[in-house]
Amino acid sequence: MAKRGRPTRAAATAKALKGVDVGQIDPMQVLREIAADRSAPAAARLAAAKALMTGGHKKADCDGSEHDRISARALTLLKGGRG
């Protein structure tokens, strides 16, 4: 007997993407469409706008603190001691 109820996330995704070439999707265009869609939730539009403003680049931290011994130790501790 077939399983009843809601399909799994993998099955729903496979069905939704059937016939779609994911290699042809432009992520920046998707973000532009989300940011411009007035029917989308405000949080989604804001997140899309922020992602567009950063342009996919992380903020540059030019003070060099990521290379000092104390910062390295703090990052190690934040990762649960895993280096």
13 part of a folded domain? no
Domain that holds residue 47: 26-56
Does some domain include residue 62?
Answer: no
Nearest to 35 by CA among 44, 23, 26, 27: 44
Instruction: Please report whether residue 45 resides in a domain.
Output: yes
pTM equals: 0.51
Amino acid letter, residue 81: G
3-state secondary structure of 26: coil
The string of pLDDT tens digits covering residues 27-48 is: 899 999 999 999 999 999 999 9
Query: pLDDT of 13-28, one tens digit each?
Result: 899 889 888 788 888 9
Query: Does residue 49 sit within a domain?
Result: yes
Q: Is residue 36 part of a domain?
A: yes
65 contact partners, CB below 8 Å, separation of at least 6: 71
Answer with the residue of higher pLDDT: 17 or 67. 17
Number of domains within the chain: 1
Angle between helices 42-54 and 27-36 (to 10 degrees): 140
What average pLDDT does the segment 58-68 reach? 62
